[in-house]
Chains A and B, each alone.
Chain A
Amino acid sequence: MKPSLLLSLVLSVLVVSFISALTIGAADLTFNQVLLSLFGNVDEAGTVAHSIIWQLRMPRSILAFVAGCGLAMAGLILQTITRNPLADPYLFGISSGASFGVVIVMTLTGVGFGFYLSFAAFLGSLLAISLLLLIAGFNRHQQVESMLLAGVALSFLFSSFTSLMLYWSDPQAVSAILFWTLGSFSRAQWDLLWFPCLVVISCLGLMLAKQRQLNAVLLGDEGAVTLGVNVNRLRITMLLLSSILTASIVALCGGIGFVGLMIPHIVRFFIGQGGRLSLIITALVGGVFMLWVDIASRVILDNQELPIGIITAAVGSLFFLTLLYVRKRKSVI
């Protein structure tokens, strides 16, 4: 498929998805009400509808969209720099670091929500990623391998710390933490949205700027070096970028697995990874996917919200099994 055609397709799906995300939910709103409160006047839409849309669903949907974009981009970055189709922000201990930060704050202070929790999650991810960078930075020759192995090891290390803290804490904290690690967009607020938005937009800019170099890395470190690319520095920069992306999202939304892994593969199924448009399309598809996951989380159970992580993990694993099946058939033919 032509990338430009796919882009316009994805953009139109995005518009539809976003309006659906504003319309569908616990409170019954009509499509008309949504349009009126978006573009018309408040009185015709009804003040309740207006505040549901502007105070609840709008920030929530923006957060879902931005989180999807960011995680898909982080996955694409990591898969590219490690040349490993299984790479994902969660493979590198980024989210277990975040959970660790959250658990410490929750068990020590009893605070269960708000800015401090996000900040703790952010610090936790940064801690995990600095350890990873330290390890990968020392071993410059087999950087990719050591990075992957160290990431998995760190991920387990932080999980064990988290479990230990949970073991010592009271049941209420345990369920709060469990809910947090499964991910949710219910914490979306206008005044916290700017940070992930800023991070996602600037990372997209940087990725577009470095797109040629990223492509070069796909063809091997040695080949990239002969094209003048400083591969080690590029890899560290991109790893740092994807961790800031993930950390800023995990801090607000909790752990949402599989999106970073899945979306780049889906996009690759339709168009090659080479062009700049494919980066943008990957980010947009991630956002659209997350909008629908959020919609599903609101409507699957009556009067209750299903954690995001459950849905993405279920869809993600099914997706993987399908991918395996398709690949197997491809290789047979």
Chain B
Amino acid sequence: MSFKQDIDHPIVKVSNLSWSTSTNQILSDISFQVPLGSFTGMLGPNGAGKSTLLRCLYRYITPESGQVLLNGQDISSLSNYEFARKVAVVLQHTPQHFDLSVFDVVALGLIPHKSMFSNNTQADLSLINTAIEQVGLSDKTECDFETLSGGEKQRVMIARAIVQRPQLLLMDEPTSHLDVKYQIQIMELAKSLGITVIASFHDINLASALCDQLLVLKQGRLHISGTPKNVITEETLSTVFDVCAKVSAHPQHHTPHVTYFYGYIDKISNSSNDKNESEGD
């Protein structure tokens, strides 16, 4: 591993994690550590295994082999609610079929903390309202969740995560399909919470600008990891993402900034066969 940041206090330690479906090896032998309080970005082309890796981290699926330690404790040894008190998740889509209000959705964050018949206490209510305020939606507390815009919905999900009071926040491409402004807003909001965050990104520049550490996946393997400066190079972009690009320093904060070159039509017609094969995600 090329990652050399201070990792005296890793909150997450993943070792030799693998997962496969009956036909495909999706994740192979992935190991990395996440320092306490850091913002870690996960990059990789579609089908590289970002979502699957995150699903292993939030226990939606069980790794075939390997181990995930949270504060030195194997996550598979925790009970459902114990785990949910430590780790919150914001997903890409939130399906919604019946009208829950913004308040109801944020209040769901209390689930791991409450027993069956307990009512919301005054402290719970103020926790919920503070969280809604923190994501700037105080005027929409009683609105139907369904009527919100995509960016607002994700802010509600972050408010829910705040109410959950986790040590670690996992986000699976929370900003895809959002306008640029909201992509930046959502990620900066997540960063401002001051807890450890692991998020997968679609936008390399956004990841580069916000993350302390990046993990780049390619075909289910951890291709490279480290600070944005070490990871985002013209070579990575060409081998992992198969694009030709120029990397320069961002004018505002000097993190690597990617400028893509164009002209891929010829390449498609030349390699149409293997393109079809790799699209099965």
* A83 adjacent to chain B (CB < 8 Å): yes
Check if B98 sits within 8 Å of A268, measured CB to CB.
Answer: yes
Cα–Cα distance between A192 and B89 once the two chains are bound (Å): 49
Residues of B within 8 A of A229 (CB): 80, 111
Q: Does A227 lie within 8 Å of B84, measured CB to CB? A: yes
Interface membership of chain A positions 71-112, coded 1 if the CB is closer than 8 angstroms to chain B and 0 otherwise: 000000001100111000000000000000000000000000
Q: Which of B68-112 contact A (CB under 8 A)?
A: 79-85, 87-89, 91, 93-101, 103-105, 107-112
Report whether B98 and A273 are in contact in the complex, using a CB–CB cutoff of 8 Å.
yes
Contact with B along A260-286 (1 / 0, CB 8 A): 000000001000111100000000000
Contact status A219-B95, CB under 8 Å = yes
Q: Are the C-beta atoms of A212 and B98 separated by less than 8 Å?
A: no
CB atoms of B100 and A274 under 8 A apart: yes
Closest to B88 in A: A226
Chain A residues closer than 8 Å to B105, beta-carbon distance: 219
A228 B80 Cβ-Cβ under 8 A: yes
Contacts of B84 in A (CB 8 A): 226-228
Confirm or deny: A47 has a beta carbon within 8 angstroms of a beta carbon on chain B: no
Taking the closest CB of chain B, its distance from the CB of A145, in whole angstroms, is 13
Q: Are A218 and B110 in contact (CB under 8 A)?
A: no
Count the A residues whose beta carbon is within 8 Å of the partner chain — how many? 28
Q: In chain A between 201 and 238, which residues have their CB closer than 8 angstroms to a CB of chain B?
A: 208-210, 212-213, 215-216, 218-220, 222-223, 225-230
In the assembly, what is the distance between CA of A219 and CA of B154, in Å?
A: 13
Q: Is the CB of A228 within 8 A of B112?
A: yes
In the complex the two chains form, what is the Cα distance from A218 to B59 in whole Å? Answer: 20
Q: CB-CB < 8 A to A209: which residues of B?
A: 116-117
Please encode chain B, from 21 to 46, with 1 for each CB lying within 8 Å of some chain A CB and 0 for all others.
00000000000000000000000000
Asked if A218 meets B112 with Cβ closer than 8 Å, knowing A226-B58, A228-B84, the reply is no
Question: What residues of A have a CB within 8 angstroms of the CB of B112 in the complex?
Answer: 227-228
Residues of B within 8 A of A272 (CB): 99-101, 104, 144
Q: How far, in whole Å, are A218 and B100 apart by their CA atoms in the complex?
A: 9
CB distance from A82 to the nearest CB of B (A): 9
Asked if B97 and A85 sit within 8 Å, CB to CB, the answer is yes
Is B183 on the interface with A (CB-CB < 8 A)? no
With contacts A212-B110, A218-B100 taken as known, whether A225 is within 8 angstroms of B95 at the C-beta atoms is no
Q: Which residues of chain B come closer than 8 Å to A215, judged between CB atoms? A: 100, 104, 107-108
A227 adjacent to B94 (CB under 8 Å): no
B164 within 8 Å of A (CB atoms) = yes
With contacts A215-B108, A272-B144 taken as known, whether A83 is within 8 angstroms of B58 at the C-beta atoms is no
Sample 10 A-B pairs with CB under 8 A, ordered by A number: A212-B108, A215-B108, A219-B94, A219-B108, A220-B93, A225-B59, A225-B60, A227-B164, A229-B80, A230-B80
Additional pairs, 18, CB under 8 Å, beyond known A212-B110, A222-B91, A272-B100? A83-B97, A208-B117, A212-B114, A213-B111, A216-B111, A219-B94, A219-B108, A223-B94, A226-B60, A226-B84, A228-B111, A228-B112, A268-B98, A268-B99, A272-B99, A272-B101, A272-B104, A273-B98
Top 9 nearest A-B pairs (CB, nearest first) are A274-B104, A228-B84, A226-B89, A228-B80, A228-B81, A209-B116, A228-B112, A83-B97, A220-B95
Q: Chain B interface (Cβ within 8 Å of chain A)?
A: 58-60, 79-85, 87-89, 91, 93-101, 103-105, 107-112, 114, 116-117, 144, 164
